[in-house]
Amino acid sequence: MPPKKIDYIFRKLEKEYPNPRSELKYKNKFTFLLSVILSAQSTDVSVNKATKELFKVAKNPDQILELGEKKLKNFIKTIGLYNSKAKNIILLS
């Protein structure tokens, strides 16, 4: 898609939705990013359930790394594709 068309679409969306909101619950920009990653092939409801406890113990990359992939999987195992998502979240962190 040409950049001009992309800009046009974003301007229209910004006018229509000046204050967009997400159903995902998060603590900061990093936890929002994790929620978005986890939401692929999943519902926002299931992501919010899983991250409710996760975000009590891990709110930044260092805390995710401290948690480790195995413990991270325990928090997100109710979400589809949790094995690959956990691996990629560790790599991201």
pLDDT tens track for 8-29: 999 999 999 999 889 999 999 9
Mean pLDDT in the chain? 96
pLDDT at 1: 87
Give dist(CA 37, CA 93) in Å, integer. 12
Instruction: Give the chain's radius of gyration (CA, Å).
Output: 16
